[in-house]
């Protein structure tokens, strides 16, 4: 029963395959084939897999989602997008690539005046025009065998974005990948490849939003290759519909001295899972930040893996969760320090705030250290609002409910405040206040 929709996807794949991009590329066909056979064998992941032990995706398997096959068929979807709604989500002062139900829309994208040599191209177009650029990267930062979602994504992806920033290029504006779902029951499957060469500076923003309140399945895999001394700041704002299912994976390879900063805002979806995995080269740095806000029956799972492969790398991680109603938050953070990775400096933190007795947080930091000269630490907390703090605020004339809201907001806002781009900061803040409207009473928080 549970496997029914999985087997339907597999059964329908042969008919679908000719419509997917990259048919003429044997190496890509091979990748898709490996993905398909892994997915046929195992389906989506189950809690029996160690890295999925807190997340049961059987609700996804009970539904059947349908891919949107070609660009022509999304025309009605594009028409349905209200320009003022789009404007709310499309960042000003950025290059913006818009993907609607898993397909690139040139009309909605804004890609004028890209500096010479910088490529921001839809995945489908890049597979036609620039396959040799993609071959060394696609499927290299994450294997289809990683788990069922990556396998599925590898076989089924319909489009995505290829970004290449050549050596020493410092981008003046961020690049936004705006993923929009517009239909019920749609399957949006996208694959992105981001290559930032030596000594570049890039800011990438991935946004997931919906113009529908219904259920759909969005899976997006982004492979990132950061060259020597490259700096990449990557924001992800996941604000899918309340009923949506979301899987998003970011898999990074950092060359020596590369710096990767990630900010993961997991707000939407009924069931959402996010993977952030990075392989650290010598003396490279990563800084992973996360904020998950769960209300009602949301299930928000965040999985990070930091592979210290070489000496002298630094990793920092801070994930915070706020969980209300019957929501459940999951944080699994793995730090693996290879034998060769001496002088590793790693610190991982996860803090969870439970606002109701029915909310739940599962937190599992894992340190696996095979080198002997390292500095690694981790700390996790799961708790409620501090009664001493509430009383302190009450003694300063603030009523209890406002005090609770203030403290909750302050807890979450620490992560929002790390956003360096004003317009994005304001949008994320809006999302926080939207999800915890009682805290919106006082807008002037700072």
Partner 1 sequence: MLKIENLHVSVGDKPILKGINLEIKAGEIHAIMGPNGSGKSTLSHVLSGKSGYEITQGSVTYQAKDLTEMAPEIRAREGIFLAFQYPVEIPGVSNIYLLKAALNAIRKHHGQPEVDAMDFLTLVKHKVKLLEMDEKFLYRAVNEGFSGGEKKRNEILQMAILEPKLCILDETDSGLDIDALKVVADGVNSLRSPDRSFVMITHYQRLLDYIKPDFVHVLAHGQIVKSGGPELALELEEKGYSWVEGNQPGVAA
Residues that bind partner 1 (CB under 8 A): 386-389, 391-400, 402, 406-407, 409-411, 413-414, 442, 444-446
Judged by beta carbon, residue 416 or residue 421, the one nearer partner 1 is 416
- Residue 420 CB, shortest distance to partner 1, in Å, is 18
* Helix boundaries (H) for 226-291: none
- Residue 353 CB, shortest distance to partner 1, in Å, is 12
What are 334's strand-pairing partners?
305, 366
Two tokens at 123? 């995945």
How many residues are present in the chain? 446
The helix or strand, by DSSP H or E, that contains position 434, with its residue range, turns out to be helix 422-435
SS3 content of the chain, % helix, strand, coil (to 5): 25, 40, 35
Backbone CA torsion sign across 387, 388, 389, 393: positive
Judged by beta carbon, residue 399 or residue 426, the one nearer partner 1 is 399
Report the alpha-carbon distance of residue 189 to residue 248 in Å, rounded. Answer: 10
Judged by beta carbon, residue 4 or residue 442, the one nearer partner 1 is 442
Judged by beta carbon, residue 133 or residue 411, the one nearer partner 1 is 411
- Residue 416 CB, shortest distance to partner 1, in Å, is 10
Judged by beta carbon, residue 167 or residue 389, the one nearer partner 1 is 389
Q: CA–CA distance from 396 to each of 402, 411, 444 (Å)?
A: 12, 19, 18
DSSP structure string for 219-235? EEEEEEEE-TT-EEEEE
Closest by CA to 342, choosing from 289, 286, 288, 280, is: 280
- Residue 292 CB, shortest distance to partner 1, in Å, is 17
Q: Backbone phi, then psi, for 332, in 5-degree steps?
A: -120, 115
- Residue 413 CB, shortest distance to partner 1, in Å, is 5
- Residue 440 CB, shortest distance to partner 1, in Å, is 15
Judged by beta carbon, residue 143 or residue 389, the one nearer partner 1 is 389
Two tokens at 25? 């590329």
Judged by beta carbon, residue 276 or residue 291, the one nearer partner 1 is 291
Q: CA–CA distance from 1 to each of 40, 45, 99, 216 (Å)?
A: 15, 15, 33, 20
Q: Which residue has the tokens 């829309």?
A: 105
- Residue 272 CB, shortest distance to partner 1, in Å, is 25
- Residue 418 CB, shortest distance to partner 1, in Å, is 12
Judged by beta carbon, residue 7 or residue 394, the one nearer partner 1 is 394
SS3 304: strand
Two tokens at 101? 């139900």
């Amino acid at each position: 029963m549970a496997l029914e929709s999985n087997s339907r996807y597999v059964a329908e794949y042969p008919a679908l395959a000719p419509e997917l991009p990259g048919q003429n590329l044997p190496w890509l066909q091979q990748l898709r084939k490996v993905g398909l056979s892994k997915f046929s064998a195992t389906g989506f992941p189950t809690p029996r897999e160690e890295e999925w032990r807190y997340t049961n995706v059987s609700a996804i398997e009970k539904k059947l989602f349908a891919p949107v096959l070609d660009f022509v068929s999304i025309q009605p979807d594009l028409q349905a997008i209200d320009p003022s709604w789009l404007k709310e989500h499309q960042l000003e002062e950025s290059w913006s690539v818009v993907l609607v139900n898993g397909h690139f829309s040139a009309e909605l994208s804004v890609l004028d005046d890209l500096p010479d040599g910088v490529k921001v191209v839809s995945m489908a177009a890049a597979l036609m025009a620039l396959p040799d650029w993609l071959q060394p990267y696609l499927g290299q930062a994450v294997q289809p065998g990683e788990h069922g979602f990556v396998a599925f994504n590898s076989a089924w992806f319909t489009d995505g974005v290829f970004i290449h920033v050549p050596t020493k290029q410092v981008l003046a504006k961020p690049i936004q990948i705006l993923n929009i779902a517009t239909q019920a029951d749609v399957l949006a499957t996208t694959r992105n490849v981001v290559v930032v060469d030596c000594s570049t500076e890039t800011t990438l923003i991935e946004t997931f939003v919906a113009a529908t309140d219904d259920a759909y399945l969005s899976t997006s895999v982004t492979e990132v290759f950061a060259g020597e001394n490259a700096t990449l700041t990557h924001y992800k704002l996941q604000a899918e519909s309340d009923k949506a299912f979301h899987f998003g994976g970011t898999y990074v390879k950092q060359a020596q001295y590369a710096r990767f900063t990630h900010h993961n805002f997991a707000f939407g979806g009924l069931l959402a899972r996010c993977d952030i995995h990075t392989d650290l080269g010598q003396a490279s740095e990563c800084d992973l930040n996360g904020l998950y806000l769960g209300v009602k029956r949301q299930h928000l799972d965040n999985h990070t893996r930091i592979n210290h492969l070489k000496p002298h790398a630094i990793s920092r991680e801070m994930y915070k969760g706020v969980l209300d109603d019957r929501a459940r938050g999951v944080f699994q953070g793995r730090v693996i320090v290879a034998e060769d990775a001496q002088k590793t400096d790693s610190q991982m933190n996860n803090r969870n705030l439970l606002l109701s007795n029915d909310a739940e947080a599962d937190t599992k930091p894992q340190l696996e250290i095979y080198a002997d000269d390292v500095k690694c630490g981790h700390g996790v907390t799961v708790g409620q609002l501090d009664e001493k703090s509430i009383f302190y605020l009450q003694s300063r004339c603030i009523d209890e409910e406002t005090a609770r809201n203030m403290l909750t907001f302050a807890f979450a806002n620490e992560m929002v405040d790390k956003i360096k781009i004003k317009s994005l900061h304001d949008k994320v803040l809006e999302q926080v206040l939207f999800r915890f409207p009682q805290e919106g009473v006082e807008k002037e928080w700072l």
